[in-house]
Amino acid sequence: MRILVMEDDETLLLTVAITLRGAGFAVDPVTDLAAADEALSVNSYDCAVLDRKVPGGDALDYVRHRRRAGLRVPVLFLTALGGIGDRVDGLEVGDDYLVKPFAAEELVVRVRRLCHIREVDRPAVLRYADVELDSATREVRRGGVLLTLTRRQYLVLELLLANAGRAVSRADLIAHAWDDEFARPATNVLDVMVAQLRRKLHQPPLIQTVREVGYRIG
């Protein structure tokens, strides 16, 4: 699972990133709102952990604005602002609120919970055109015909279908299909896998290449 972490204190940012990576998450660390906005615009995240007062403004105002525009990524505010009003505002806009200083174990538990919310929010059956992916049985059919996919081919197709109509970056596809970040391959390995997946899906072509980004269905 992939997490975005925004924190302007670079020492704390490193600590949070190490903590979450040690718990099995892939982590993208950023230090300001501009970088966070860019990351959220081009990547798919299971959760975002955001400090509030950072260069560029208040993350709470930013999330409120992005929610109105359709942002659905679960957000945990990780902040020194611990007043009752701050907590209430944070929980109205985001999905969880944790005040500094915090215990590493509590952060991990809260992030896992938010990632679980994202998984539950995803439909059990993903469909596009005549392709159907059933996450309960892990079966994929096209035109009613059962396809034989490897585990990683299945995971790549799953993320593409979950984001149908939007480009998914190579980095996101690799993070989703290779759970262990230390075993992740070069992007050309992903390209070979997508080529194999295209052949298994047969005609007409379903997966499109998005230049300098990754791939897209739809």
> Which one is predicted more confidently, 117 or 5?
5
Positions of CATH 3.40.50.2300 in the chain: 2-121
Angle, to 10 degrees, between the axis of helix 59-68 and the axis of helix 84-93?
A: 30
Task: Output the pLDDT for position 157.
Answer: 94
- 152-199: pLDDT as tens digits: 898 899 989 988 888 888 888 887 777 555 455 666 888 888 999 999
For the whole model, what pTM was predicted? 0.58
Lowest-pLDDT range of 84-93, 113-122, 146-155, 203-212: 113-122
Q: Radius of gyration over alpha carbons of the chain, in Å?
A: 18
Work out the widest C-alpha separation in the chain, in whole angstroms.
58
Summarised one tens digit per residue, pLDDT across range 3-56 is: 999 999 999 999 999 999 888 888 999 999 999 999 988 887 889 999 999 999
Q: How confident is the model at residue 119 (pLDDT cuts 50, 70, 90)?
A: low
What's the rounded mean pLDDT across residues 121-125?
67
Answer yes or no: are the C-beta atoms of 173 and 181 closer than 8 Å.
no
**Summary mean pLDDT of the chain:** 87
Domain with CATH 1.10.10.10 in the chain: 125-217
Pairing between β-strand 53-54 and β-strand 75-79 as defined by DSSP bridges: unpaired
The tens digit of pLDDT for each residue in 47-80 reads: 999 999 999 999 999 998 888 877 788 899 999 9
Name the token pair of 53: 């007062």
Distance (Å, whole) CA 54 – CA 56: 6
- How many helices (H) and strands (E) in the chain? 8, 14
Q: Can you name the CATH fold of 125-217?
A: Arc Repressor Mutant, subunit A (1.10.10)
CA neighbor of 73 nearest in space, from 110, 47, 111, 107? 47
pLDDT of residue 41: 84
The answer on pLDDT for 122 being more than 70 is no
Strand bridging mode 26-30 / 2-6: parallel
What average pLDDT does this structure show over 207-213? 91
Domain 2-121: CATH class, spelled out: alpha beta
> What is the structure's pLDDT at 16?
93
Q: What does the pLDDT read at residue 140?
A: 93
